[in-house]
Amino acid sequence: MKEEALDTHHKALKINLDTRWYGTLAEIGAGQEVVRWFFRVGGAAGTVAKSISAYDMTVSDAIYGSGDRYVSRTRVQAMLDREFSLNLERLEDKRGDTTAFFAFADTVVARSFKGGNECHGWMGVKFQSRPRDEPSQILIHVRMLDAEASLQQEALGVVGVNLLFGAFFLHHEPELLVESLLDKLTTGRIEIDVIEFRGIEFRSVDNRLISLKLVQLGLSGAAMFGPNREVLQPSEILYKKAVLVERGSFRPPTHVNFDMLHCALEKFTADPDVAGKPVLPIFELTMRNLLAGGSEVDRRDFLARADLLAACGMTVLISDYFEYYRLAAYISWRTKERIGIVMGAPSLTELFDERYYTQLPGGILESFGRLFKYNLKLYVYPLKNPDSTLTTVENLEVAPELKKLYGYLADRGSFVGLDNFKPEYLPIFSRDVLRKIAVGDESWVEMVPPEVAALIRERRFFGWKG
């Protein structure tokens, strides 16, 4: 039977019948849903050295160390490290020459009896790909979308088997491994918004590309990573923070991109509902922008933009939410604090183009209802026109039939004009920087932050030849 045709039963059986891997499965929260598959299909004695489920918090702390949160990256990491080291300590002398050891762990909160809680969990596997090898590791964060706890538990068991099968048999093809995680499931049942590869088998893997793959495949609507290139779990990063997000191509990021953000931050933090609270500024790239009309993302181009934003200390969000109301919904689900979106005047004009809302039964009215129900505000940066006049929120033109709608939103304070801009930055556009780089005009250096210019030169991004 071909590997791509294997169902969960046959995946678990194939692992059980392979004498190379032997280890521990530790599960907290939703039951022993993953190890149950290995016991069910038969032959588990060849795979399972130990299964453990430390439900009681005091018991769990005694085994893995105390912590503030039990469904967290730190807890699943403690579980993996503890169980993997115990396997080596207890079994390596006896069977280390012929056995590749592993530890699987998950810590999950499924739907409670009363309902209403977030249903999610961390899951991971730490494993040797061959006997006495250095360990490699895969961590994922899952959100369970089924309405019933029993269905969530079932889905969790399937994902766990898929993860173990992928680690053992597909670790040499990380992208194929990612694609296999939802075998026999759908994105309507499980969302995977974080995946992280580490260790010797994945030393050449860039986790930002893997995060991008999650969004491309529809396994998650968005992925996030920080200035140090680390993959971030959005719910943890956005929790209890006011969020200011700027969408753009950032190809490359210019002075005007950062002036937009700084101007908006000044206004945003002065808002009484935001003052004194932690604020997270984010630069967002949409999949539509990254695809640029094609069917495949240019990975070198994507990493260039990601590295340039990281060099400037920015948190980056990759999303499949072209419509602003979907982006707002994604963020508002993860924080109850104020949300602001930064955009240029041309983007605000596009926002009032009814062609973008034909898929909504309520058209443009429904889109604005969804967007502004979160008490969200748009921070609008002016556009300098060829005649040197400025297009701002005060004089922006929309279709005649939409002027009253525009006036209503303006009167309720939905638009905040950014009048604290630096005039010398207004003529700067990323496309002009790229054109100057292409023809060897070094004046582009004055159009971008010093960190951006230095990295473009160092790594010869965007065809820079020097």
154-193, pLDDT tens digit by residue? Answer: 999 999 999 999 999 999 999 999 999 999 999 999 999 9
What whole-number distance in Å separates Cα of residue 294 and Cα of residue 319? Answer: 17
**Average pLDDT over the chain, rounded to an integer:** 94
Q: Residue 22: enclosing H or E segment and its boundaries?
A: strand 21-28
pLDDT score of 1? 42
Dihedral angle over CA of 319, 324, 330, 336, nearest 10: 140
Q: What element of type H or E holds 215?
A: helix 207-217
Residues 335-347 have a mean pLDDT of 96
pLDDT at 135 over 50: yes
**What's the pLDDT band for 2 if we cut at 50, 70, 90?**
very low
So what's the pLDDT on residue 4? 55
The pLDDT, as a whole number, for residue 5 is 62
pLDDT band at 292 (very low <50, low <70, confident <90, very high): confident
Low-confidence winner among 49-53, 229-233, 258-262, 430-434 (lowest mean pLDDT): 229-233
- What pLDDT band is residue 291 in, cutting at 50, 70 and 90? confident
Residue 118 binned pLDDT confidence (cut-offs 50, 70, 90): confident
Q: pLDDT digit string (tens) for 243-290?
A: 999 999 999 999 999 999 999 999 999 999 999 999 999 999 999 889
Cα–Cα–Cα angle for 178, 179, 182, nearest 5°?
95
Q: Please tell me the chain's helix, strand, coil percentages from 3-state DSSP, rounded to the nearest 5.
A: 45, 20, 35
For position 293, what pLDDT does the model report? 65
Residue pLDDT, tens place only, 351-383: 999 999 999 999 999 999 999 988 899 999 999
Q: Which helix H or strand E contains 290, and what residues bound it?
A: helix 287-291
**What is the arithmetic mean of pLDDT over 197-215?**
96
Q: Is the pLDDT of residue 3 over 60?
A: no
